[in-house]
Structure 1
Protein backbone atom coordinates (compact mmCIF):
# COMPACT_ATOMS: atom_id res chain seq x y z
CA UNK A 1 0.00 0.00 0.00
CA UNK A 2 1.25 3.49 -0.83
CA UNK A 3 2.18 6.05 1.80
CA UNK A 4 -0.41 7.68 4.07
CA UNK A 5 -2.90 4.87 3.22
CA UNK A 6 -3.83 6.57 -0.06
CA UNK A 7 -5.18 4.07 -2.55
CA UNK A 8 -2.86 3.87 -5.58
CA UNK A 9 -4.01 4.73 -9.06
CA UNK A 10 -4.58 1.79 -11.44
CA UNK A 11 -1.20 2.22 -13.13
CA UNK A 12 0.58 2.44 -9.76
CA UNK A 13 -1.34 -0.59 -8.52
CA UNK A 14 -0.23 -2.62 -11.52
CA UNK A 15 3.38 -1.61 -11.01
CA UNK A 16 3.15 -2.77 -7.39
CA UNK A 17 1.61 -6.05 -8.54
CA UNK A 18 4.54 -6.58 -10.93
CA UNK A 19 7.01 -5.78 -8.15
CA UNK A 20 5.39 -8.40 -5.92
CA UNK A 21 5.43 -10.92 -8.78
CA UNK A 22 9.14 -10.33 -9.33
CA UNK A 23 9.81 -10.96 -5.66
CA UNK A 24 7.36 -13.81 -4.92
CA UNK A 25 6.91 -15.47 -8.31
CA UNK A 26 3.12 -15.69 -7.92
CA UNK A 27 0.16 -13.62 -6.69
CA UNK A 28 -3.42 -14.41 -5.71
CA UNK A 29 -6.49 -12.33 -6.62
CA UNK A 30 -7.99 -12.52 -3.12
CA UNK A 31 -4.79 -11.38 -1.40
CA UNK A 32 -4.26 -8.50 -3.84
CA UNK A 33 -7.87 -7.32 -3.46
CA UNK A 34 -7.45 -7.23 0.30
CA UNK A 35 -4.09 -5.49 0.09
CA UNK A 36 -5.28 -2.73 -2.25
CA UNK A 37 -8.81 -2.56 -0.78
CA UNK A 38 -10.52 -3.00 -4.14
CA UNK A 39 -12.95 -5.53 -5.59
CA UNK A 40 -11.57 -8.86 -6.81
CA UNK A 41 -12.97 -8.05 -10.26
CA UNK A 42 -10.74 -4.94 -10.34
CA UNK A 43 -7.69 -7.09 -9.64
CA UNK A 44 -8.74 -9.57 -12.32
CA UNK A 45 -8.89 -6.72 -14.85
CA UNK A 46 -5.42 -5.59 -13.74
CA UNK A 47 -4.03 -9.09 -14.19
CA UNK A 48 -5.75 -9.52 -17.56
CA UNK A 49 -4.23 -6.28 -18.82
CA UNK A 50 -0.76 -7.22 -17.57
CA UNK A 51 -1.16 -10.64 -19.19
CA UNK A 52 -2.11 -9.07 -22.53
CA UNK A 53 1.06 -6.96 -22.31
CA UNK A 54 3.13 -10.12 -21.72
CA UNK A 55 4.17 -9.29 -18.14
CA UNK A 56 2.64 -12.33 -16.46
CA UNK A 57 0.79 -15.60 -17.00
CA UNK A 58 -2.76 -15.79 -15.68
CA UNK A 59 -3.88 -18.68 -13.51
CA UNK A 60 -7.39 -19.47 -12.33
CA UNK A 61 -6.86 -17.74 -8.99
CA UNK A 62 -4.12 -15.26 -9.76
CA UNK A 63 -0.96 -15.03 -11.85
CA UNK A 64 2.58 -16.31 -12.27
CA UNK A 65 5.65 -14.35 -13.24
CA UNK A 66 7.09 -15.08 -16.67
CA UNK A 67 10.57 -15.11 -18.09
CA UNK A 68 11.20 -12.94 -21.12
CA UNK A 69 14.87 -13.36 -21.93
CA UNK A 70 14.76 -14.18 -25.64
CA UNK A 71 18.45 -15.06 -25.66
CA UNK A 72 17.60 -18.18 -23.63
CA UNK A 73 15.95 -19.69 -26.70
CA UNK A 74 17.88 -22.13 -28.87
CA UNK A 75 18.75 -20.81 -32.32
CA UNK A 76 16.30 -23.22 -33.98
CA UNK A 77 13.45 -21.63 -32.06
CA UNK A 78 14.52 -18.04 -32.65
CA UNK A 79 14.54 -18.74 -36.40
CA UNK A 80 11.33 -20.79 -36.46
CA UNK A 81 8.24 -19.76 -38.40
CA UNK A 82 5.09 -18.43 -36.73
CA UNK A 83 7.20 -17.12 -33.84
CA UNK A 84 4.55 -14.65 -32.61
CA UNK A 85 1.85 -17.33 -32.68
CA UNK A 86 4.03 -19.81 -30.81
CA UNK A 87 4.86 -17.30 -28.11
CA UNK A 88 1.20 -16.42 -27.49
CA UNK A 89 0.25 -20.11 -27.47
CA UNK A 90 3.07 -20.77 -24.98
CA UNK A 91 1.81 -17.97 -22.71
CA UNK A 92 -1.67 -19.46 -22.75
CA UNK A 93 -0.36 -22.94 -22.00
CA UNK A 94 1.39 -21.71 -18.86
CA UNK A 95 -2.00 -21.00 -17.29
CA UNK A 96 -2.54 -24.74 -16.95
CA UNK A 97 0.60 -25.41 -14.91
CA UNK A 98 0.13 -25.50 -11.14
CA UNK A 99 2.63 -25.97 -8.28
CA UNK A 100 3.61 -29.60 -7.63
CA UNK A 101 2.39 -30.84 -11.03
CA UNK A 102 4.29 -33.66 -12.70
CA UNK A 103 4.63 -32.35 -16.23
CA UNK A 104 5.96 -33.99 -19.38
CA UNK A 105 7.38 -31.77 -22.12
CA UNK A 106 8.23 -32.73 -25.70
CA UNK A 107 10.98 -31.32 -27.93
CA UNK A 108 8.84 -28.99 -30.06
CA UNK A 109 9.71 -25.35 -30.64
CA UNK A 110 6.39 -24.19 -29.14
CA UNK A 111 7.07 -26.08 -25.92
CA UNK A 112 10.57 -24.57 -25.80
CA UNK A 113 8.94 -21.13 -25.97
CA UNK A 114 6.81 -22.18 -23.02
CA UNK A 115 9.85 -23.35 -21.06
CA UNK A 116 11.59 -20.00 -21.54
CA UNK A 117 8.58 -18.29 -19.94
CA UNK A 118 8.15 -20.82 -17.15
CA UNK A 119 8.68 -19.38 -13.65
CA UNK A 120 10.78 -21.11 -11.02
CA UNK A 121 8.20 -23.01 -8.97
CA UNK A 122 7.80 -26.39 -7.22
CA UNK A 123 7.34 -28.69 -10.19
CA UNK A 124 8.58 -31.96 -11.66
CA UNK A 125 9.40 -31.94 -15.38
CA UNK A 126 9.95 -35.14 -17.34
CA UNK A 127 11.42 -34.60 -20.79
CA UNK A 128 13.36 -36.20 -23.62
CA UNK A 129 14.44 -32.78 -24.91
CA UNK A 130 18.02 -31.73 -24.16
CA UNK A 131 17.11 -28.09 -24.86
CA UNK A 132 14.40 -28.24 -22.19
CA UNK A 133 16.96 -29.61 -19.71
CA UNK A 134 19.40 -26.83 -20.56
CA UNK A 135 16.80 -24.09 -20.24
CA UNK A 136 15.69 -25.29 -16.79
CA UNK A 137 19.17 -25.46 -15.27
CA UNK A 138 18.81 -22.09 -13.52
CA UNK A 139 15.41 -22.86 -11.92
CA UNK A 140 16.27 -24.77 -8.73
CA UNK A 141 12.68 -25.35 -7.60
CA UNK A 142 11.94 -27.37 -10.74
CA UNK A 143 12.97 -31.01 -10.51
CA UNK A 144 14.06 -32.12 -13.98
CA UNK A 145 14.08 -35.77 -15.06
CA UNK A 146 15.76 -36.55 -18.39
CA UNK A 147 14.83 -39.82 -20.05
CA UNK A 148 18.14 -40.88 -21.54
CA UNK A 149 18.02 -42.68 -24.86
CA UNK A 150 19.34 -42.43 -28.41
CA UNK A 151 20.33 -38.93 -29.53
CA UNK A 152 18.42 -37.34 -32.39
CA UNK A 153 20.81 -34.50 -33.29
CA UNK A 154 18.31 -32.77 -35.58
CA UNK A 155 15.73 -32.25 -32.82
CA UNK A 156 18.32 -32.22 -29.99
CA UNK A 157 16.39 -34.88 -28.08
CA UNK A 158 16.59 -38.48 -26.85
CA UNK A 159 14.33 -41.16 -28.34
CA UNK A 160 14.06 -44.93 -28.63
CA UNK A 161 13.46 -47.83 -26.19
CA UNK A 162 15.50 -46.39 -23.29
CA UNK A 163 13.63 -43.06 -23.42
CA UNK A 164 10.28 -44.83 -23.59
CA UNK A 165 11.11 -47.19 -20.71
CA UNK A 166 11.90 -44.19 -18.52
CA UNK A 167 8.58 -42.54 -19.37
CA UNK A 168 6.66 -45.71 -18.41
CA UNK A 169 7.96 -45.41 -14.84
CA UNK A 170 6.09 -42.18 -14.10
CA UNK A 171 2.56 -41.04 -13.44
CA UNK A 172 2.22 -37.83 -15.45
CA UNK A 173 -0.35 -35.16 -14.55
CA UNK A 174 -0.04 -33.07 -17.69
CA UNK A 175 1.65 -33.40 -21.07
CA UNK A 176 2.47 -30.34 -23.15
CA UNK A 177 3.39 -31.22 -26.71
CA UNK A 178 2.96 -30.24 -30.33
CA UNK A 179 2.71 -32.14 -33.63
CA UNK A 180 4.18 -31.86 -37.10
CA UNK A 181 0.73 -32.12 -38.60
CA UNK A 182 -2.96 -32.30 -37.68
CA UNK A 183 -5.29 -34.05 -40.09
CA UNK A 184 -9.05 -34.17 -39.49
CA UNK A 185 -9.40 -37.76 -40.65
CA UNK A 186 -6.32 -39.41 -39.14
CA UNK A 187 -5.22 -37.11 -36.31
CA UNK A 188 -1.77 -36.03 -35.13
CA UNK A 189 1.41 -36.96 -36.99
CA UNK A 190 5.20 -36.75 -36.68
CA UNK A 191 8.12 -36.72 -39.11
CA UNK A 192 9.62 -40.02 -37.88
CA UNK A 193 8.52 -43.28 -36.31
CA UNK A 194 10.72 -42.64 -33.26
CA UNK A 195 9.06 -39.30 -32.54
CA UNK A 196 5.58 -40.67 -33.17
CA UNK A 197 6.23 -43.60 -30.83
CA UNK A 198 7.40 -41.52 -27.88
CA UNK A 199 4.61 -38.96 -28.41
CA UNK A 200 1.98 -41.71 -28.50
CA UNK A 201 3.33 -43.18 -25.25
CA UNK A 202 3.31 -39.79 -23.52
CA UNK A 203 -0.30 -39.21 -24.54
CA UNK A 204 -1.22 -42.60 -23.05
CA UNK A 205 0.64 -41.93 -19.79
CA UNK A 206 -0.67 -38.41 -19.10
CA UNK A 207 -3.89 -37.59 -17.26
CA UNK A 208 -4.31 -34.42 -19.32
CA UNK A 209 -2.85 -33.75 -22.78
CA UNK A 210 -2.38 -30.15 -23.94
CA UNK A 211 -1.48 -29.99 -27.61
CA UNK A 212 0.04 -26.66 -28.70
CA UNK A 213 -0.27 -26.01 -32.42
CA UNK A 214 -0.29 -22.85 -34.52
CA UNK A 215 -2.49 -22.60 -37.62
CA UNK A 216 0.22 -23.87 -39.98
CA UNK A 217 0.02 -27.37 -38.45
CA UNK A 218 -3.61 -27.93 -39.48
CA UNK A 219 -4.37 -29.77 -42.71
CA UNK A 220 -0.87 -31.26 -42.72
CA UNK A 221 -0.11 -34.99 -42.91
CA UNK A 222 3.38 -35.89 -41.76
CA UNK A 223 4.94 -39.34 -42.13
CA UNK A 224 3.78 -41.27 -39.03
CA UNK A 225 0.65 -40.86 -36.94
CA UNK A 226 0.89 -40.56 -33.16
CA UNK A 227 -2.77 -40.39 -32.18
CA UNK A 228 -6.33 -39.55 -33.14
CA UNK A 229 -7.86 -36.14 -32.49
CA UNK A 230 -9.43 -37.23 -29.21
CA UNK A 231 -6.03 -38.21 -27.77
CA UNK A 232 -5.71 -34.57 -26.68
CA UNK A 233 -7.86 -33.00 -23.97
CA UNK A 234 -7.08 -29.41 -24.95
CA UNK A 235 -5.70 -27.92 -28.17
CA UNK A 236 -4.25 -24.41 -27.89
CA UNK A 237 -3.97 -22.59 -31.21
CA UNK A 238 -4.05 -19.10 -32.70
CA UNK A 239 -6.82 -17.06 -34.30
CA UNK A 240 -5.69 -17.80 -37.87
CA UNK A 241 -6.77 -21.45 -37.57
CA UNK A 242 -9.71 -22.27 -39.82
CA UNK A 243 -12.94 -22.71 -37.83
CA UNK A 244 -13.68 -26.04 -39.50
CA UNK A 245 -10.71 -27.54 -37.66
CA UNK A 246 -11.90 -26.05 -34.37
CA UNK A 247 -15.38 -27.45 -35.00
CA UNK A 248 -13.94 -30.90 -35.75
CA UNK A 249 -11.95 -30.87 -32.52
CA UNK A 250 -15.01 -29.84 -30.52
CA UNK A 251 -17.01 -32.63 -32.17
CA UNK A 252 -14.27 -35.08 -31.13
CA UNK A 253 -14.66 -33.93 -27.51
CA UNK A 254 -11.50 -31.81 -27.45
CA UNK A 255 -11.55 -28.39 -25.80
CA UNK A 256 -10.01 -25.60 -27.88
CA UNK A 257 -8.36 -22.41 -26.66
CA UNK A 258 -7.73 -19.76 -29.31
CA UNK A 259 -5.24 -16.95 -28.65
CA UNK A 260 -5.19 -13.63 -30.45
CA UNK A 261 -1.99 -12.57 -32.21
CA UNK A 262 -1.89 -8.80 -32.52
CA UNK A 263 1.34 -8.28 -34.43
CA UNK A 264 0.42 -10.06 -37.66
CA UNK A 265 2.05 -8.49 -40.69
CA UNK A 266 -1.07 -8.96 -42.80
Structure 2
Protein backbone atom coordinates (compact mmCIF):
# COMPACT_ATOMS: atom_id res chain seq x y z
CA UNK A 1 0.00 0.00 0.00
CA UNK A 2 1.34 3.44 -0.93
CA UNK A 3 2.05 5.91 1.85
CA UNK A 4 -0.76 8.35 0.98
CA UNK A 5 -3.33 5.54 0.97
CA UNK A 6 -1.92 4.20 4.25
CA UNK A 7 -2.20 7.60 5.93
CA UNK A 8 -5.77 7.89 4.71
CA UNK A 9 -6.59 4.44 6.07
CA UNK A 10 -5.03 5.26 9.46
CA UNK A 11 -7.24 8.34 9.83
CA UNK A 12 -10.27 6.36 8.69
CA UNK A 13 -9.58 3.83 11.45
CA UNK A 14 -9.19 6.62 13.98
CA UNK A 15 -12.48 8.14 12.90
CA UNK A 16 -14.20 4.79 13.39
CA UNK A 17 -12.59 3.58 16.62
CA UNK A 18 -10.95 6.61 18.23
CA UNK A 19 -7.60 4.92 18.73
CA UNK A 20 -5.09 2.65 17.00
CA UNK A 21 -1.98 0.75 18.04
CA UNK A 22 1.24 0.24 16.14
CA UNK A 23 0.80 -3.54 16.36
CA UNK A 24 -2.70 -3.40 14.86
CA UNK A 25 -1.52 -1.17 12.01
CA UNK A 26 1.45 -3.40 11.25
CA UNK A 27 -0.83 -6.42 11.07
CA UNK A 28 -3.43 -4.61 8.96
CA UNK A 29 -1.16 -2.89 6.42
CA UNK A 30 1.99 -5.01 6.43
CA UNK A 31 4.39 -2.10 6.93
CA UNK A 32 7.22 -2.38 9.43
CA UNK A 33 6.92 -1.05 12.95
CA UNK A 34 9.46 1.68 12.15
CA UNK A 35 7.50 2.77 9.07
CA UNK A 36 4.23 2.72 11.01
CA UNK A 37 5.69 4.85 13.78
CA UNK A 38 6.95 7.35 11.18
CA UNK A 39 3.45 7.48 9.68
CA UNK A 40 1.93 8.24 13.07
CA UNK A 41 4.61 10.81 13.87
CA UNK A 42 3.99 12.55 10.54
CA UNK A 43 0.26 12.76 11.17
CA UNK A 44 0.86 13.96 14.72
CA UNK A 45 3.12 16.77 13.48
CA UNK A 46 0.20 17.96 11.35
CA UNK A 47 -2.11 17.76 14.39
CA UNK A 48 -4.28 15.13 12.75
CA UNK A 49 -3.88 12.74 15.68
CA UNK A 50 -2.30 12.56 19.13
CA UNK A 51 0.52 10.07 19.68
CA UNK A 52 0.33 7.73 22.65
CA UNK A 53 2.68 5.07 23.96
CA UNK A 54 2.33 2.31 21.38
CA UNK A 55 -0.15 4.05 19.10
CA UNK A 56 -2.35 7.11 18.66
CA UNK A 57 -5.76 8.56 19.49
CA UNK A 58 -7.99 10.72 17.34
CA UNK A 59 -8.00 14.48 17.41
CA UNK A 60 -11.35 16.23 17.29
CA UNK A 61 -10.54 17.39 13.74
CA UNK A 62 -9.31 14.08 12.38
CA UNK A 63 -12.50 13.06 10.59
CA UNK A 64 -11.27 13.97 7.14
CA UNK A 65 -7.93 13.65 5.40
CA UNK A 66 -6.51 16.87 3.95
CA UNK A 67 -7.01 17.22 0.22
CA UNK A 68 -3.28 17.04 -0.47
CA UNK A 69 -3.38 13.38 0.58
CA UNK A 70 -6.75 12.47 -0.92
CA UNK A 71 -5.66 13.69 -4.36
CA UNK A 72 -3.46 10.58 -4.63
CA UNK A 73 -6.34 8.16 -4.05
CA UNK A 74 -8.39 6.53 -6.84
CA UNK A 75 -6.87 8.89 -9.38
CA UNK A 76 -7.86 6.92 -12.48
CA UNK A 77 -11.49 6.74 -11.42
CA UNK A 78 -11.56 10.46 -10.69
CA UNK A 79 -9.98 11.25 -14.05
CA UNK A 80 -12.67 9.20 -15.82
CA UNK A 81 -15.43 10.99 -13.91
CA UNK A 82 -13.79 14.35 -14.62
CA UNK A 83 -13.61 13.68 -18.35
CA UNK A 84 -17.27 12.69 -18.48
CA UNK A 85 -18.25 15.77 -16.46
CA UNK A 86 -16.20 18.11 -18.65
CA UNK A 87 -17.99 16.79 -21.72
CA UNK A 88 -21.27 18.11 -20.29
CA UNK A 89 -19.91 21.68 -20.39
CA UNK A 90 -20.53 23.76 -23.51
CA UNK A 91 -18.86 27.06 -24.45
CA UNK A 92 -20.61 30.01 -22.84
CA UNK A 93 -21.81 28.07 -19.81
CA UNK A 94 -21.56 29.20 -16.19
CA UNK A 95 -20.20 26.24 -14.21
CA UNK A 96 -20.22 25.76 -10.44
CA UNK A 97 -17.47 23.69 -8.84
CA UNK A 98 -17.48 22.84 -5.16
CA UNK A 99 -14.27 21.77 -3.46
CA UNK A 100 -12.88 18.26 -3.46
CA UNK A 101 -10.50 16.02 -5.34
CA UNK A 102 -13.01 14.96 -7.98
CA UNK A 103 -14.05 18.53 -8.76
CA UNK A 104 -10.36 19.49 -8.85
CA UNK A 105 -9.93 16.81 -11.50
CA UNK A 106 -12.90 18.32 -13.40
CA UNK A 107 -11.17 21.71 -13.31
CA UNK A 108 -8.08 20.11 -14.85
CA UNK A 109 -10.19 18.48 -17.56
CA UNK A 110 -11.85 21.81 -18.38
CA UNK A 111 -8.47 23.55 -18.51
CA UNK A 112 -7.29 20.97 -21.05
CA UNK A 113 -10.12 21.68 -23.50
CA UNK A 114 -9.03 23.74 -26.50
CA UNK A 115 -12.52 24.27 -27.89
CA UNK A 116 -13.85 26.50 -25.09
CA UNK A 117 -12.09 29.63 -26.35
CA UNK A 118 -13.72 29.28 -29.77
CA UNK A 119 -17.16 29.64 -28.22
CA UNK A 120 -16.34 32.59 -26.00
CA UNK A 121 -15.04 30.61 -23.05
CA UNK A 122 -16.84 29.65 -19.87
CA UNK A 123 -17.31 31.09 -16.40
CA UNK A 124 -16.43 28.98 -13.37
CA UNK A 125 -17.86 29.89 -9.96
CA UNK A 126 -16.07 28.11 -7.14
CA UNK A 127 -15.57 28.28 -3.40
CA UNK A 128 -12.36 26.23 -3.65
CA UNK A 129 -9.21 28.34 -3.66
CA UNK A 130 -7.07 25.56 -5.13
CA UNK A 131 -9.45 25.24 -8.10
CA UNK A 132 -9.45 29.01 -8.59
CA UNK A 133 -5.64 29.04 -8.65
CA UNK A 134 -5.60 26.11 -11.06
CA UNK A 135 -7.82 27.92 -13.58
CA UNK A 136 -6.59 31.49 -13.06
CA UNK A 137 -4.07 31.35 -15.92
CA UNK A 138 -6.60 30.27 -18.53
CA UNK A 139 -7.75 33.36 -20.47
CA UNK A 140 -10.79 31.51 -21.86
CA UNK A 141 -12.08 30.69 -18.36
CA UNK A 142 -13.48 33.49 -16.24
CA UNK A 143 -13.04 32.52 -12.59
CA UNK A 144 -15.39 33.85 -9.91
CA UNK A 145 -14.31 33.06 -6.35
CA UNK A 146 -16.74 33.33 -3.50
CA UNK A 147 -15.75 35.08 -0.32
CA UNK A 148 -15.72 33.34 3.02
CA UNK A 149 -13.49 31.67 5.57
CA UNK A 150 -11.06 29.07 4.23
CA UNK A 151 -11.36 25.51 5.49
CA UNK A 152 -7.74 24.43 5.93
CA UNK A 153 -8.42 20.76 5.21
CA UNK A 154 -10.39 21.07 1.97
CA UNK A 155 -9.33 24.55 0.74
CA UNK A 156 -13.03 25.45 0.54
CA UNK A 157 -14.44 28.83 1.51
CA UNK A 158 -17.39 28.56 3.86
CA UNK A 159 -19.70 30.85 5.79
CA UNK A 160 -22.24 33.61 5.13
CA UNK A 161 -20.06 35.52 2.65
CA UNK A 162 -20.15 32.53 0.30
CA UNK A 163 -23.90 32.29 0.52
CA UNK A 164 -24.29 36.02 -0.08
CA UNK A 165 -22.45 35.79 -3.41
CA UNK A 166 -24.21 32.62 -4.53
CA UNK A 167 -27.62 34.24 -4.01
CA UNK A 168 -26.70 36.72 -6.74
CA UNK A 169 -25.65 34.28 -9.47
CA UNK A 170 -27.23 31.70 -11.73
CA UNK A 171 -25.37 28.59 -12.87
CA UNK A 172 -26.01 26.43 -15.91
CA UNK A 173 -24.52 23.35 -14.26
CA UNK A 174 -22.95 22.64 -10.87
CA UNK A 175 -20.66 19.74 -10.04
CA UNK A 176 -20.78 18.94 -6.34
CA UNK A 177 -18.27 16.71 -4.59
CA UNK A 178 -19.44 14.75 -1.53
CA UNK A 179 -18.14 12.47 1.21
CA UNK A 180 -21.11 10.13 0.96
CA UNK A 181 -23.88 9.28 -1.51
CA UNK A 182 -26.62 6.97 -0.31
CA UNK A 183 -29.92 6.00 -1.91
CA UNK A 184 -31.88 6.60 1.29
CA UNK A 185 -30.14 9.64 2.78
CA UNK A 186 -28.82 11.34 -0.37
CA UNK A 187 -25.63 13.37 -0.70
CA UNK A 188 -23.69 14.30 2.43
CA UNK A 189 -20.40 15.78 3.63
CA UNK A 190 -18.38 15.62 6.82
CA UNK A 191 -18.68 19.36 7.50
CA UNK A 192 -22.00 21.16 7.94
CA UNK A 193 -20.57 24.45 6.62
CA UNK A 194 -19.44 22.81 3.39
CA UNK A 195 -22.82 21.09 3.14
CA UNK A 196 -24.61 24.45 3.33
CA UNK A 197 -22.47 25.94 0.57
CA UNK A 198 -22.82 22.86 -1.63
CA UNK A 199 -26.58 22.90 -1.19
CA UNK A 200 -26.88 26.54 -2.18
CA UNK A 201 -24.58 26.09 -5.18
CA UNK A 202 -26.78 23.23 -6.35
CA UNK A 203 -29.93 25.27 -5.82
CA UNK A 204 -28.55 28.08 -7.99
CA UNK A 205 -27.92 25.71 -10.92
CA UNK A 206 -30.23 24.61 -13.71
CA UNK A 207 -28.66 21.17 -13.36
CA UNK A 208 -26.84 19.89 -10.28
CA UNK A 209 -24.65 16.81 -10.58
CA UNK A 210 -23.12 14.83 -7.73
CA UNK A 211 -19.65 13.69 -8.75
CA UNK A 212 -18.13 10.96 -6.60
CA UNK A 213 -15.97 7.91 -6.98
CA UNK A 214 -17.61 4.60 -6.17
CA UNK A 215 -15.90 4.21 -2.78
CA UNK A 216 -18.30 6.83 -1.38
CA UNK A 217 -21.50 5.21 -2.65
CA UNK A 218 -23.66 3.73 0.07
CA UNK A 219 -21.95 5.98 2.64
CA UNK A 220 -23.71 8.56 4.83
CA UNK A 221 -21.55 11.37 6.19
CA UNK A 222 -22.40 13.82 8.98
CA UNK A 223 -24.17 16.69 7.17
CA UNK A 224 -26.91 16.28 4.57
CA UNK A 225 -26.60 18.17 1.28
CA UNK A 226 -29.65 17.02 -0.65
CA UNK A 227 -31.56 14.19 -2.27
CA UNK A 228 -32.85 13.41 -5.76
CA UNK A 229 -35.00 16.54 -5.99
CA UNK A 230 -31.84 18.64 -5.78
CA UNK A 231 -29.42 16.25 -7.48
CA UNK A 232 -31.17 14.43 -10.32
CA UNK A 233 -27.86 13.15 -11.71
CA UNK A 234 -25.08 11.15 -10.03
CA UNK A 235 -21.84 10.68 -11.96
CA UNK A 236 -19.51 7.94 -10.67
CA UNK A 237 -16.98 5.45 -11.98
CA UNK A 238 -17.38 2.06 -13.61
CA UNK A 239 -16.20 0.19 -10.49
CA UNK A 240 -19.47 0.94 -8.72
CA UNK A 241 -21.41 -2.00 -7.32
CA UNK A 242 -24.41 -2.89 -9.49
CA UNK A 243 -26.77 -3.27 -6.52
CA UNK A 244 -25.78 0.14 -5.17
CA UNK A 245 -26.40 1.75 -8.56
CA UNK A 246 -29.78 0.01 -8.80
CA UNK A 247 -30.76 1.35 -5.37
CA UNK A 248 -29.85 4.89 -6.42
CA UNK A 249 -31.91 4.59 -9.60
CA UNK A 250 -34.82 3.18 -7.61
CA UNK A 251 -34.59 6.26 -5.35
CA UNK A 252 -35.04 8.54 -8.37
CA UNK A 253 -31.47 9.36 -9.40
CA UNK A 254 -30.18 9.25 -12.94
CA UNK A 255 -26.89 7.43 -12.49
CA UNK A 256 -24.11 7.66 -15.05
CA UNK A 257 -20.83 5.77 -14.92
CA UNK A 258 -17.54 6.78 -16.51
Q: TM-score, normalised by structure 2?
A: 0.68
SS in 1 for 2:96: strand
- Distance in 2 separating the partners of 1:187 and 1:170: 25
* Of 80, 86, 97, the match for 2:89: 97
- For 2:236, the equivalent position in structure 1 comes to 237
1:148-190: CA deviations, max 9, x gaps? 1111111112110001110110011100111101122111111
Kept in 2: contact 1:180–1:217 (CA 8 A): yes
- Distance in 2 separating the partners of 1:75 and 1:184: 26
Kept in 2: contact 1:230–1:249 (CA 8 A): no
**1:87 matched to 2:79:** yes
Kept in 2: contact 1:89–1:212 (CA 8 A): yes
SS in 2 for 1:231: coil
**1:199 matched to 2:230:** no
5 Å-filtered alignment, 1:245-256, equals: 245-256=244-255
5 Å-filtered alignment, 1:130-141, equals: 130-141=129-140
- For 2:147, the equivalent position in structure 1 comes to 148
1:199-239: CA deviations, max 9, x gaps? 11112111101111111001211111111134212211112
- Distance in 1 separating the partners of 2:192 and 2:181: 16
**1:210 matched to 2:183:** no
Relative to 1, partners in 2 of residues 1:187 and 1:75: Cα closer, same or farther, differing over 3 Å?
closer
Relative to 1, partners in 2 of residues 1:75 and 1:198: Cα closer, same or farther, differing over 3 Å?
closer
- For 1:110, the equivalent position in structure 2 comes to 102
CA positional deviation for 1:77: 6.4
SS in 1 for 2:235: strand
- Distance in 1 separating the partners of 2:209 and 2:180: 15
Relative to 1, partners in 2 of residues 1:75 and 1:166: Cα closer, same or farther, differing over 3 Å?
closer
| Number of residue pairs matched by the alignment | 186
- For 1:54, the equivalent position in structure 2 comes to none
1:20-78: CA deviations, max 9, x gaps? xxxxxxxxxxxxxxxxxxxxxxxxxxxxxxxxxxxxxxxxxxxxxxxxxxxxxx97267
What RMSD, in angstroms, separates the aligned Cα atoms of the two structures?
Answer: 1.8
